[in-house]
Amino acid sequence: MAFNMYHASVPVFIRGLQNLSKFLAKAHDDSIARKIDFAVLINSRLAPDMHPLSRQIQIATDTVKNGAARLAGDEIPSYPDTETTYEELQARIVKTVAFLEEFKEPQFEGSENRQVVLKFPSGGMTFTGADYLTSFVLPNLYFHTTAAFAILRHNGMPLGKMDFMGG
């Protein structure tokens, strides 16, 4: 069977965000039970030069919505990065999952060979669609969801591997 770009992207993106949502909810519930202000966790980071939890979630959602849109040849929606509460972060995840669920498999036909060009202030990167998915989007999704998990775990939230992997 040939590599299927849709199946290697959209369902994986959705599962990653749903798992992120679930472990974020578990940490939120624990913070309430232990009378920990969740805003402290939202602003927590693993190191001074790393992004806080809120930004990790924003980047994870941006990565997959942008990735799916680029691979499908669709418009990329813009989300302002203004979330400062648990509810706002969860709403962003829900909005991103809903966006991803709109994609259909035929939109990804031939996307493995589509040229994807990313431009940054410091330069740019050019990929085939397959390389973009496997060497940029998926690693970024996993990096930022892992960072979010690690921030929560570092702050004493009772999370384990199965929370990250999902049930």
pLDDT in tens, 118-128: 998 999 999 99
CA distance linking residue 60 with residue 145, whole number of Å: 6
Spatial CB neighbours of 132, under 8 Å, sequence gap ≥ 6: 67, 70, 71, 116
pLDDT tens-digit series, residues 7-18: 999 999 999 999
Predicted confidence (pLDDT) per residue in 69-118, tens digit: 999 999 999 999 999 999 999 999 999 999 999 999 999 999 999 999 99
Whether 1 shows a pLDDT value over 60: the answer reads no
What predicted TM-score, i.e. pTM, was given to this entire model? 0.95
Residue 40 has pLDDT above 80, yes or no: yes
- pLDDT tens readout for residues 75-84: 999 999 999 9
- Domains belonging to the chain, first-starting first, are 5-160 (1.20.120.450)
- Distances from the Cα of 86 to the Cα of 35, 64, 69, angstroms: 15, 20, 26
